[in-house]
Chains A and B, each alone.
Chain A
Amino acid sequence: MATGGNLRSGRRAKPGKSGRDVREAMRDPSRSPVDPRSIRAVRLGHGANCSSIGSVVDTLFVTALLGGAVFAAVVGALGREPVEVIGKAARSKEGAPEADAGSRKSAETR
Chain B
Amino acid sequence: MKLRFEPFGAWVKVEDPPAVVALDRDGVRALGLDGGGMWADEAPVTAPLEVHLAVTQRCAAGCEGCYLDARADGLEPPESVMLERLDALRDAGVMTVAFGGGEPTTREDLGALADAARVRGLTPVLTTSGLGLSTAKVERLRGFAQVNVSYDGGAAEYAAVRGFDGARAAEAAIRLLADAGIRAGINVVLTRSTLDALPETLRRARALGASEAQLLRYKPAGRAAALDYLARRLSPEQGRELGSTLRALSLEHAASGFSIRVDCSMVPFFSGDPALYASADALLRAGIFGCEGGQALASVKVDGKVAPCSFVASTSLSARGLVHGHEEDPDLARWRAFSSSAPEPCASCALAPVCKGGCKAVSLFVDGLHGPDPECPRVRAYRERSAQAKVLS
Name A residues whose Cβ lies closer than 8 Å to a Cβ of B: 16-18, 20, 23, 25, 28, 30-35, 38-62, 66, 70, 73-74, 77-78, 81-91, 96, 99-107, 110
Contact = CB atoms under 8 A, between A and B. Distances in A.
Given A61-B246, A88-B38, A74 B127 contact: no
B284 interface: yes
Contact of A39 (B21, B96, B297): B21
B36 to A, nearest CB: 3
A36 B185 CA distance: 30
Contacts of A100: 37, 40, 44
A86 B262 CA distance: 28
Interface in B113-145: 119-121, 123, 125-127, 144-145
B36 A87 contact: no
A20 B249 CA distance: 42
B125 A89 contact: no
A20 B327 CA distance: 22
Contacts of B259: 44-45, 56, 58
A40 B264 contact: no
Given A30-B32, A87-B5, A88-B46, A55 B127 contact: no
Contacts of A81: 1, 14-16
B17 interface: yes
Q: DSSP class of B's interface residues: helix, strand, loop or mixed?
A: mixed
A22 B292 CA distance: 29
Given A38-B24, A54-B261, A103-B39, A49 B2 contact: no
Interface footprint category on B: 35 or more
Nearest to B216: A52
Given A40-B285, A84-B1, A90 B15 contact: no
Interface of B: 1-5, 8-9, 12, 14-24, 26-28, 30-40, 44, 46-47, 50, 52-54, 67, 90-93, 95-96, 98-101, 104, 119-121, 123, 125-127, 144-148, 183, 185, 187, 212, 214, 216-217, 219, 246-247, 249-251, 253-254, 259-265, 276, 279, 282-289, 292, 296-297, 299, 309-311, 323
> What 10 A-B pairs come out closest when comparing CB atoms?
A50-B100, A87-B93, A102-B37, A38-B27, A102-B36, A43-B287, A30-B32, A103-B36, A48-B125, A58-B250
Contact of B34 (A16, A77, A110): A110
A50 B5 contact: no
B128 to A, nearest CB: 9
Contacts of A18: 90, 119-121
Given A35-B30, A39-B22, A89 B16 contact: no
Contact of A107 (B24, B34, B264, B323): B34
